[in-house]
Each structure stands twice: as C-alpha cells, then as structure tokens.
Structure 1
Amino acid sequence: MSDGLQFENVCGRKDAAVLDIVFIHGLTGDPKETWTNSDGTFWPCWLVDDLSGVCIHTAGYPSSVFAKWAKKEMTLHERASSLAEYMVSHGMGKRPLIIICHSLGGLLAKEVFRACCEAQDEDWNALGDQLKLVVFFATPHKGAALAAIVKALIPRVSSTSIEALSNDTGFLTNLNNGYRDLAVKKGLTTIAYYEKYKTKDAALVVSEESSDPGCTKTRPIPVDADHVAICKPASKDAMTYLSVRRHIEKVLAGCPAASDDDQNSGLGPDDYSVPSEDDRRTLQEKLIDAGREYEYANANNLQNRFARRYHKLGLFTEAKTLHDTILSAVEQRFLTHVYGPKICAGAPETEIAAAVQEQVIDPLCASSENGKLTNSTILQALYYLTEQCHIQWDKP
C-alpha cells in the first residue's frame, strides 16, 4: 500500500502523448497492485499498446486516509488539495486528462475536480478544464455504502468512526451535487461500474443505487466481480477493458494532435543522447539499488559499446534517427511489459529475466521494422537507456 503521496508516469511517452490518464486507487489500495490482475499484469499499460498518444500515470496516497478522515485526523478536502498541487506540479492540466478511480478513490477524484474548478490558481483551473472523462469503479456516492466499505476492508475502525462516514452531515450529498453541477458546466463525461458479487462472501459493498452519481447520460454498468476484482480485467477481451477503451477512444478523437515542433524537435526528451531528468542515478547505482550489482561489469561494457556508436552519428543523420527509433521501442516495451507489471509488482528475478527476453528482446529481434536486431544490440540499448536515466530496475 502507499506510503506517502506518490505520482508516477508508468508507461507511455510524455513527450509524444496527447492525452494523460491518471489512475487513483481506493481504500487499502496501492498505485500498482489495485490495477494488477490475477495474472500479474498491470493492465493500464494495455492502453498504451492499443491506443496511440496516451500516457499512463498512477496517483498514490496513504490508503488509511479515509480511516483517519473518519477519526477527524484528516479531511478529504485536505488530501484532495495536496493531490491537486502534486498533479499540476507533475505537468497535469497541460493537455486533455482522464481520471480512472476505484472505490473511495472516486471521492478523492471528485474533490480534486471541485477544488481545481473553484481555485484561483490558474494551473489548478487548467487541470479542472482539461478533465474530459472520469471513470468510477465501484465508487460509493451515498453514505451507507461508504460505511459498508469501511466495515468490509478496515473492520478495526470503531462503529463511532463509521458513523462519521455516514451522510448525516450532508457532506457526501454536497460533494456529489457539486460534482454533477460542475460536470455539466465543464462538459465532463462520467462512467460508472458496480459489482454484482459479494466481497469476502459477506456483503455487496457498492450496489447499483450507490454507484450512480446521478449525472446526465450516466447509467451505471454491472460487472461480474466483487468490490476488489472489479477494477482488474483479466484480459483485453474483458467487458470492463473494452468499455474503458471505447470511452477513451472518444476522448482521443477530440484531442489536439501533437505539434510538428513536438514531433520533430532535435532536443528534449526525444534526444536519447541527453540524460533524462527523471532519475539521475548512474547505471552502477541503479543496479546496486535493484540488487543486481553482479551485472554491472557486463552491463557497463554493453552500454559503452552502444554509446560509442550512437554518439558518432551526429544529431540529424538517418542512422541516428534509426537508433532513436530502436531506443524508443526498447524503452516502450520495457516500461510496458517489464517495469510496471514485473519490477514494480515485486516479481522474482527469474520472472523479470523471462519478461525481458520474451517481451522485449524476442519481439524486437523478430520485427523487421528497424532492420535486423540481435540480442546483444537490444541489451546494449537497455543498459544505455539505464545509464541515460530513461529506465530503472528497482521499484520506486
């Protein structure tokens, strides 16, 4: 589970994207585990495979936040304000945005939206204006369901605290009315899903009635899953994945295309000869932090071979463009199929090695798009990207 506020670009290239998608977990959730299915796949990265121009981010917060809120130690508004500032500090609001949330994370998303729309800070206003779609997975919009979630997932919270989460004060009604009004004003699309199976064989946590935010054109959609599994589609053929992708495609159709300057600039994030600002540790430091220091001698040799060849090519040659394309393909496949679903999920080293071979090396060697590539060339590119701070091998 989250330990402090977090925000991370998980997959998709920020410099080439036209749409940001932020995933927000719920009570007892985690930025990665909440969205990882039973096969160990971090499914949001499927969207990068299937849709051009999307960039996936995860937001995390101490998942006991709602228990603390119930005990009057923290307010939802305070947490939303903190998350809103963190998001705009990471560049959110500069292009169209989608938020996908699970359970009580949906309440946090609604409060972030309201805070941004009502703020005097222009960056916060931009984030509110750029939000185009909110997807609620089993979010309770009424107090009774809110208390049911707390009882099911954190039973240690006292009955008195649970009562504080009821709608007696009118807080949830006020929050939802504010969200509905702003959604109409801003033209925001809202999608909602609710579970049909009991959680822990004890209770149906969020019913159809509770899942309905009451927004115009929003009809809650039933899912054959419990409260925990509802946001973990097992495959790309799962109803929830196909549905989410369909609605994202509609938003993408209205997104401004990336400018020619963004696409063709010889400098900036597309130039792999310049180290990324995201993580400035050296190759050796990254491997040590990942418990892979034994790889350093070979890894350093491989990345040096790639670097010597790469830096001889000049800035604007056809050969350098080809090498940039190869680096981009390696980076994309590593982040999508290895880093998110394996490394961040704490997979054993054997699984990580298998994923590198099967999801990065083999497909790129088999492809003819970039000419004939070898295992060695791809490994050279991987370690070069590590040295240049574009990828890492340890959990954030």
Structure 2
Amino acid sequence: MSIGLQFTHKCGDKNGAVLDIVFIHGITGDPDETWTNNAGGFWPCWLADDLPGLCIHTAGYPSSFFAKWAKKEMNIHERASSLAEHMVAHGIGKRPLVIICHSLGGLLAKEMFRACCEAQDEDWIALGDQLKLVVFFATPHKGAALAAIMNTLIPRTSSPSVEALSNDTGYLTNLNSGYRDLAAKKGLTTVAYYEKYKTKNVALVVSEDSADPGNTKTRPVALDADHIEICKPGAKDSPAYLSVSRHIGKVLEGCPTLEEDDPDDGLGPYDYSKPAEHDRRTLQEKLIDAGREYEYATANSLQNRFARTYYRLGLFTEAKTRHDTILSVVEQRFLTHVYGPKICAGAPESEIAAALQEHVIDPLCTSAQYGRLTNSTVLQALYYLTEQCHIQWDKP
C-alpha cells in the first residue's frame, strides 16, 4: 500500500452486530492479501458466516511504515493514535471489540491499547474498555525476533537501525510489560500463535519464546506455517480458524444484548422464537411424511446451528430482529414459490429444488438488504422454520 491509514467495513451487519472484529496486518502486508489464503478465501468473512452477530473490519497502513519506523523516521505511537482516532470515528468502541493482528501489526495494536488506556478522550477510553480479546499471529514480543522480521522481510532496512531498535532501546520490553499490566487490569484475554516453518527457507522468524507476551493465562500455540502463511487458514477445519472461532465464540457469549425501545409495539417482524400452534409434528416427522427422511441428519444439524445463534441473541435485540426478518422472508418465499406451486402440485424433486434455489436461496444471498447471507444460512433458517412448525414439506 502506498496510501495512508485505512479503516474498512468488510462484512457483517453494522447495525445488528453485537461484536466488532478488527484485523490489523503486519509488515509488507495489506488489509486484504494478508488475510486471504492461497485459494482466494478471505477468512475474516467466514467468521461472519459462522458466528452471526459479528461486524468485520480491516485496518490498513502504508507497507513502508515499519521500515521508516526502524530507521526512526516515523513514530509508532503517532500511528497508533491515528488508528485509534480512525476507529472511534467509525463507531468502534460502542460495543465489545476483538482485535486480530499479524506480525508487527500486533505492536500497533498494543500501542493503540496503551494510548486508549492513558487517554482523556471518553471515546478512546471506551475503545480501550470495550476491547475483550487480542489475537496475535506471530507477533514478536522480544527484540531479537524484531530484527529477524526486518532482516528477512525488508532486507534493505539498515542493519544498525534494526539492531539498535531491537537491543538497545528496550522498546519491545517496555511496550510488552505495559500491555501485560494493562491487560491484567482490564481483564483482557490474549491469544498468541507462532510459526513452525522457516520463512523463505531462511529463518524461523518468531519463535515460541518471542511469541509469548507473558500474560499469566496465555500459552502460545504452534501452527504449521511460516511467518507469512500463518495468518491464512486454508479451510474452516484448519487449526488456526477453529481456534480463533472458539475464542471469539466465548467473547460472544458475554456480549450484552441491545434492547429495542418498544418490543411490544406490534410493528416489528413476527417473533419466531416460539413454535407455531398448527402442525406440531417434529422436524423428523415432517421430513418422513414428505419422503425426505434422508435429509434429517443434515437438516437437524443446520436448524440447531441457527437456533443456538438465534436464542443466544436474546429477546428483542437488533440482531434478533434481523434474524426474525430473514425468517419472515424465507417463510413467505417458500410458501409462495415452493410450497404452493410445487409441493402441493406434486412437482418432482428436481423442480422443488430448482424453485427453492431460484426463489428462496439466491434472492436472499444476493440482496444486501439482509447482510451477507450464504446458502448454508438460508437452509439453516428454512429447517428452523420447519422444526418450529411454520412450514411443512408434504401436501396438506
């Protein structure tokens, strides 16, 4: 990147979310490429798919920044303060926050956290207070690793400058001790990962020892990757993605709900948290009666995933209202385009599946009105409605 500091909303519902996630890239990286795997998957938005209630953002800065910092041409504290101001200007700090950072981006995150904790500005203070989890991917917390990063990834950086920054000033030691004390005071959870493979077949850049921030409850976790690939999980079942998802899920469990002003005004979407009074057959019974018993295992798993998220959001929250709206649209489209003209008319399974894809799944997945939905999310909603007795798959 050659332009200045950027802060961008990438995915997730800005208004209905209960937790903000901010990704901060490292040296030589950028807000997109750093978090995109070799197959082109931008995994931050996987989190928004799998953990409803998230709003995903990226922070970006010129890739030359750390080289200039190493040469003492730029102050990292000033850059961190600028990042804090950008974040509060974009509304970050009004709800719980998670920061995920790679390499030297972690230093920027720690400096920003310290600046917020020491600030007089009430928005900056709120930003520091709302930070619940920091995830470090191969961030050096000791000076020797900083020199390794600079010399491996930016070999043109002058060696004397790097060595002075790494060994003489004690900058990393001071920054980390401050972070450790503030994290303990604020109850901030810290997660750290380190690489097991050499980068460019030259050096193991951030070792287990350097990746350890020293927090009492933090134990660095090894990942089978080099310094560049460590923050690019290749699939949803990769150790890195599963681990990050688990920690974010724990933060979500403690997120407060946002009550609506008047949940009983009768003007909002229908409340789907209770089963309908008619057709009280179970999901399995409905599918068996429709000759679709082969779908039950998958259908039950999908509806359970939707139900867990839906009920965790609590009653009368903005996020729950969004889910009720989605359920209402799915129900209406299913009844109008699939149940009446196809199922009740005895259409073959191929026509039912085509109508479901064309009139229910595709419209919701392509419309920005409902946030970033996937096929899986719509199917989760569909089977949840079946379980809750709002729709059926067999003729009357």
**3-state SS of paired residue (2:162):** helix
Q: 1:52 Cα shift?
A: 1.7
The one of 336, 356, 362 aligned to 1:366: 356
Distance in 1 between the 2:79 and 2:106 partners? Answer: 13
- Please state whether the residue corresponding to 1:136 is helix, strand or coil: strand
- In 2, Cα distance between the equivalents of 1:322 and 1:106? 34
Distance 1:322 1:202, change over 3 A: closer
> Matched residues in 2 for 1:221 and 1:322: separation?
35
Amino acid paired to 1:244: V
Deviates more, 1:59-68 or 1:161-170: 161-170
Q: Structure 1 pair 110/264, CA: closer, same or farther in 2 (3 Å)?
A: farther
- Once the 2 structures are TM-superposed, how far is the Cα of residue 259 of structure 1 from its aligned partner? 1.9
Classify the secondary structure of the residue corresponding to 1:244: helix
Partner-residue secondary structure (3-state), 2:180: helix
Change (3 A) 1:178 1:43: same
Distance 1:322 1:138 in 2: 37
Which amino acid in 2 is paired with 1:229?
E
Matches within 5 A, 1:261-340: 261=261, 325=326
- Contact kept, 8 Å, 1:103 with 1:138, in 2: the verdict is yes
Task: Determine the structure 1 residue equivalent to 2:106.
Answer: 106
Deviations 1:186-219 (A, max 9, x none): 0000000000000000000000000000001100
Question: Is contact 1:102-1:231 (8 Å) kept?
Answer: yes
Matches within 5 A, 1:9-88: 9-88=9-88
| Residue number in structure 2 paired with 1:156 | 156
Please name the residue that 1:124 is paired with.
124
Q: Distance in 1 between matches of 2:112 and 2:188?
A: 14
- Matches of 2:62 and 2:14 in 1, distance apart? 26
Identity percentage of aligned residues: 71
Contact residue 22 and residue 56 of structure 2 kept, 8 A: yes
Aligned residue for 2:135? Answer: 135
Q: Give, in angstroms, the shift of residue 379 of structure 1.
A: 10
Shift of 1:164: 3.2
Residues paired across the two proteins, number: 295
Range with greater deviation from structure 2 (154-163 or 53-62): 154-163
For 2:195, the equivalent position in structure 1 comes to 195
- Alpha-carbon shift at residue 95 of structure 1 (Å): 0.5
The letter for the 1-side match of 2:30 is D
> Offset at 1:43?
0.4
What residue in structure 1 maps to residue 247 of structure 2? 247
Q: 1:203 to 1:379 in 2, by over 3 A?
A: closer
Report the equivalent of 2:6: 6
- Displacement of 1:380: 9.2
Describe the shift of the 1:262–1:132 C-alpha distance in structure 2 as closer, same or farther (beyond 3 A).
farther
Larger radius of gyration: 2
- Residues 365 and 374 in structure 1, CA contact (< 8 A), matched pair in contact too: no
Structure 1 pair 322/179, CA: closer, same or farther in 2 (3 Å)?
closer
Deviation at 1:261, TM superposition (A): 3.9
Superposed displacement of residue 325, structure 1: 4.1
Aligned residues of 1:2 and 1:63 also touching (Cα < 8 A): yes
For residue 167 of structure 2, give the secondary structure of its aligned residue in structure 1.
coil
Match for 2:8: what amino acid?
E
Deviations 1:99-153 (A, max 9, x none): 0000000000000000000011110000000000000000000111001001111
Could you tell me whether the CA contact under 8 Å between 2:71 and 2:158 is conserved in 1?
A: no
**Counterpart AA for 1:37:** N
CA deviation string 1:262-302 (max 9, x = no partner): 999999xxxxxxxxxxxxxxxxxxxxxxxxxxxxxxxxxxx
Q: Is the 8 A contact 2:21 2:55 kept in 1?
A: yes
Change (3 A) 1:146 1:11: same
Q: State the alpha-carbon separation in 2 of the partners of residues 325 and 11 from structure 1.
A: 17
State the partner residue of 1:94: 94
The answer to whether the 8 Å contact 1:25/1:101 transfers is yes
Decide whether the 8 Å contact of 2:143 with 2:170 is kept in 1. no
One-letter amino acid of the counterpart of residue 237, structure 1: D
Determine helix, strand or coil for the equivalent of 1:98.
Answer: strand
2:145 aligned with 1:145: yes
Deviation at 1:51, TM superposition (A): 0.7
**Amino acid in structure 2 at the alignment position of 1:125:** I
Give distance in 2, aligned partners of 1:98 and 1:78: 22
Cα distance between partner residues in 2 of 1:198 and 1:174: 28
**Judging changes above 3 Å, is the alpha-carbon distance between structure 1 residues 155 and 51 closer, same or farther for their aligned structure 2 residues?**
same
- In the other structure, the counterpart of 2:166 is 166
Q: Any unmatched runs of 5+ in structure 1?
A: 268-320, 330-362, 392-396
The 1:325/1:142 distance shift into structure 2, 3 A limit, reads same
Q: Partner residue of 1:221? A: 221
Aligned partner of residue 156 in structure 1, secondary structure: coil
> What's the CA shift for 1:158?
1.3
Q: Is the 8 Å Cα contact of residues 2 and 30 (structure 1) preserved in structure 2?
A: no
The alpha carbon displacement at 1:167 in A equals 3.2
| One-letter amino acid of the structure 1 residue matched with residue 10 of structure 2 | V
Gaps of 5+ in 2: 268-321, 331-352, 373-396
Aligned-partner residue type, residue 228 of structure 2: V
CA contact (8 A) 2:165 2:171 kept: no
Amino acid at match of 2:356: A
Q: Secondary structure at the match of 2:66?
A: helix
